[in-house]
Structure 1
Amino acid sequence: MSDWSKVRLHVVTGKGGTGKSTVASALALALAHRGANVLLCEVEGRQGIARMFDVDPLPYEERRLTTGLPDDDGGRGVVHALHIDAESALLEYLSMYYRLGRAGKALDRFGVIEFATTIAPGVRDVLLSGKVYEAVERNSRNKGAIQYDAIVLDAPPTGRITQFLNVGGEVGGLAKVGPIKTQSDTMMKLFQSPRTAVHLVTLLEEMPVQETIDGIADLKRAKLPVGGIVVNMVRPRDLSAENLAAARAGTLDREKVESEVKAAGIEVTPVLIDGLLHEAAQHAERRALEDEQREVVRDLGVPTYELPRMAGGVDLGALYEFAGLLREQGMA
């Protein structure tokens, strides 16, 4: 448990395959309550938000996506979505700060924008994170823009997240002084402040947990604020500790299993019972490994939240269910 009420920017990262996009979407739904406006944005070009919510691919434009999880009195906030790409972010930056409207688009036609975002390492990440910063720190340059109560970023994977947010280091190799350096320093003040939290998504498996450990260490070295750990796809706890131990040891009461299968109206065969006992043993072994990794995560001393594995996959209904669980556990 922790208090994230002062956080404006929730960065969600995790090893590929852990479900960070699912967690980011659920967190946005959970935060959009009591009339709050929440922006859910992505920067990896995968259109994950569109697929998650089953809508058309998103442009570089903030769009109303859905309503958030209802409050006890039925009130809801609103979730908006934004797909950020580096080229569009650079054009917007040139327009807002250097008034290069049509001239910027001309540069784009000549391929200068693509050149600028690929020739210098780190420029692309600076542009992407710069748009995230702009969404948090709205000013008069972006006239008529929505003021958001919270921003949720579906961020790059754990292995890249420190580099992505460490814009000061990236820009340091490009500009020692000037407006770009000044703006990158301002961005770092936000990213390193208590108004930002970097949440990590993991599974109860050795590799994702180890990557989470390494990610936390990297974030701390860069003085970036570590948020919570969301343990995703947790298996159900349908068997007692006694039955799990018996399943692992291969000592489950075969006759009892047969009688219960028969009571369920299913024809009992030796092959069926053998298969059930084998599945039980595998499930028990997996649960034991998960319990070991849960202890490793717990020892990290970081607020931890859990979301269950959905046998039928994740749809919009599941996202709202996850949002409710995150709120019940104190993440939103």
Structure 2
Amino acid sequence: MSRLHVVSGKGGTGKTTVAAALALALAEEGRRSLLVEVEGRQGIAQLFETEALPYEERKIAVAPGGGEVFALAIDAERALLDYLQMFYKLGGAGRALKKLGAIDFATTIAPGLRDVLLTGKACEAVRRKRKDGRPVYDHVVMDAPPTGRITRFLNVNDEVAGLARIGPIHNQAQAVMRVLKSPETAVHLVTLLEEMPVQETVDGVAELRAAGLPVGGIFINMVRPEILDEEALARAGGTERAAVAGALSRAGVGGARRGGRAERLVGPLLEQAGEHVERVRLESAQRKEIAGLGLPSRELELLSGGADLAGLYRLAKDIRKQGIPEAAA
């Protein structure tokens, strides 16, 4: 299985929720997963109903079967200080650079350096080993930037590698890209059954493939339950007012008299039925668009009570049941 799962999606599709549920799903049966946040929004802390995440790995949940989920909010400034200490042994000088504002200066003038630091931290967690040679984390899940920026975010390391031909920065960029473009990585996209998110997903998959980045699967989020079967949908689109009023009266809703409650309900009911039929048709068309990508897709239910902790566990169970998508060979 892939060990680094990068989760992206158009804003509003619930990518952070899906990333959190995926981390829970991967941690089942005694495994350990690390959930990484790179945008500084503290969305993970809110989902798991815990305090703001510091720049350190912290256990935030226990998965079914005794697995553990850790979380890390990566800060580019702190990551750069770690980087300077690791490769240049700056120590106190690095902290002095921070006070002088040199950190912001460095990440501004060096194209892609910020993203190298963010992705590099996640890749380091993937490569990290215990004393017995086993990985510290079985899986790392990254709550990544939105679909419109994901390819540049992941592929910017190539640009940095081109700018720095030798030295630690070059080596770091090359090491990161070896992980990101390997079978160890799968980039998943989250979408809704709506035209704009699906189109952005289609475009995102094309960009990722063109950049040689491994695409995993599509998570179709917030799927509403089916209310009517195919036969009922066909009838709903052409039902006459008199037939509906008669059915309501026979069911004991209102009376049969003209202008009664049953008759007054006909208009709103037919309007809702028409809207439902139209929505189902649009969703069917979007499913076909997604199927045309040739990628595994997983449908996750709409959480009526919102994305709380109990909802995360329900989504994780659903992901495990459907199977976790892998990147195509």
Under a length normalisation based on structure 1, what TM-score does the superposition of the two structures give? 0.89
Check the 8 A contact 1:126/1:170 in 2, yes or no. Answer: no
Are 2:225 and 1:236 aligned? Answer: yes
CA drift at 1:120: 2.7
Following superposition, the deviation at residue 183 of structure 1 comes to 1.7
Of 8, 12, 16, the match for 2:11: 16
Structure 1: any 5+ residue segments left out of the alignment? 1-5, 141-145
Secondary structure of the residue aligned to 1:11 is strand
Match of 1:53 in 2: 48
SS at match of 1:244: helix
CA 1:280–1:222: 2 relative to 1, 3 Å: same
Residue among 291, 306, 310 paired with 1:298: 291
Larger Rg: 2
* 2:299 is the counterpart of 1:324: no
Q: 2:72 aligns with which of 79, 82, 104?
A: 82
Residue 148 (str. 1) matches residue 137 (str. 2): yes
Residue 158 (structure 1) aligned with residue 151 (structure 2): no
Matches within 5 A, 1:161-172: 161-172=150-161
Query: Alignment identity in percent?
Result: 56
CA distance in 2 between counterparts of 1:24 and 1:260 reads: 46
Q: Is the 1:7–1:197 contact (alpha carbons within 8 Å) kept by the matching residues of 2?
A: yes
How far residue 261 of structure 1 moved from its aligned partner, in angstroms, is 7.1
Q: C-alpha deviations, 1:139-192, integer Å up to 9, x for none?
A: 69xxxxx81110000000111111111133230453122221122111111100
| Paired residue type of 1:43 | V
Counterpart of 2:39? Answer: 44
Counterparts of 1:207 and 1:261 in 2: how far apart (Å)? 43
- Alignment of 1:28 with 2:26, yes or no, is no
> Could you tell me how far apart the structure 2 residues matched to 1:285 and 1:158 are?
27
Secondary structure of the corresponding residue to residue 180 of structure 1: helix
Correspondent of 1:222 among 199, 211, 214: 211
User: Matches of residues 117-156 of structure 1 in structure 2 within 5 Å?
Assistant: 117-138=107-128, 147-156=136-145
Residue identity opposite 1:319 in structure 2:
L
Q: Aligned pairs, how many?
A: 315
User: Residue by residue, what CA displacement relative to the aligned partner does 1:3-61 show, whole Å, maximum 9, x if unpaired?
Assistant: xxx21100001111111111101001101112111100110111110111121111111
Indicate if the aligned counterparts of 2:158 and 2:177 stay in contact, CA closer than 8 A. Answer: no
- Number of the residue aligned with 2:92: 102
Structure 1 pair 189/280, CA: closer, same or farther in 2 (3 Å)?
same
Offset of 1:121 from its aligned partner?
2.9
Alpha-carbon contact 2:33-2:138 (below 8 Å) kept: yes
Mean alpha-carbon deviation: is it higher for 167-176 or for 219-228?
A: 167-176
SS in 1 for 2:163: coil
Change (3 A) 1:259 1:136: farther
* Code of the aligned partner of 2:155: N
* Equivalent residue letter for 2:309: L
Q: What RMSD, in angstroms, separates the aligned Cα atoms of the two structures?
A: 2.1
Q: Distance in 1 between matches of 2:264 and 2:172?
A: 68
Q: 2 CA distance for matches of 1:259 and 1:34?
A: 54
Q: In the alignment, what sits opposite 1:248? A: 237
Give the 3 Å change call, closer, same or farther, for CA 12–287 of structure 1 in structure 2.
same
Q: Which moved more, 1:202-211 or 1:149-158?
A: 202-211
What TM-score, normalized to structure 2?
A: 0.90
Residue 312 to residue 98, structure 1, CA distance change in 2 (3 Å) = same
Q: Is the 8 A contact 1:34 1:77 kept in 2?
A: yes
Tell me the distance in 1 between the aligned counterparts of 2:272 and 2:249: 15
**Structure 2 counterpart of 1:148, one-letter code:** Y
Change (3 A) 1:251 1:129: farther
SS at match of 1:292: helix
Equivalent residue for 1:191?
180
Distance 2:156 2:269 in 1: 53
